[in-house]
Amino acid sequence: MKRIMPLLMVLLLANCGYQLKQPYELHPAFNHTHLVLPLTSPLYQPLASALSNQGIQLVDAESAEALLVIGHNRLVKEIQSIGVNNRVQEYRLDYQLDFKVLIGDKVVVTSKRLQLSKDYAFDIGQITGTQTEERLLREQLYQDMAEMIIRYLANQSLNPADIEPAS
């Protein structure tokens, strides 16, 4: 019985349907992409890593088949709620960006706006912990936005009829 129980557990876990996350299927033109975003942007590293994880090679603009252009890229901290003592109790981090995709000289994804937000509690007595929490939430927003861009691109069907001339 002691030998059968671990075997049953392994079989049960193997049949539960769990699968490792697979890369999204992106258009082959994305295989050599240039990311138009300053290297100093906090989004650059998470987005570059997410693209690389999808098998996309980041190249310079001259040898790129596709250009991923990040336009409006803004993270704003706003007061979410104020307590009875007129002190801030919660903040909200709102992150917005616009991006478009060009393949060759054609715009295949016109300017698309994506938005994410996260709320967090603020306690002046726990200022160090609150600052750490805000930093971690910012990093998570950048990571989530990078994944959101990848999912958006994976869900687009890039048919020749959808391609518009670049302006």
CATH code assigned at 141: 3.30.160.150
d(CA 149, CA 97): 10
Domain that holds residue 70: 4-159
Number of structural domains the chain divides into:
1
Tens-binned pLDDT, residue by residue, of the chain (167 aa): 677 777 777 766 666 665 656 667 787 888 999 999 999 999 999 999 999 999 999 999 999 999 999 999 999 999 888 888 888 888 899 999 999 999 988 888 899 999 999 988 877 666 666 788 889 999 999 999 999 999 999 888 665 444 444 44
For residue 71, being part of any structural domain is answered with yes
For residue 166, being part of any structural domain is answered with no
β-bridge partners, 164: 107
- 8 A C-beta contact, residue 134 and residue 91: yes
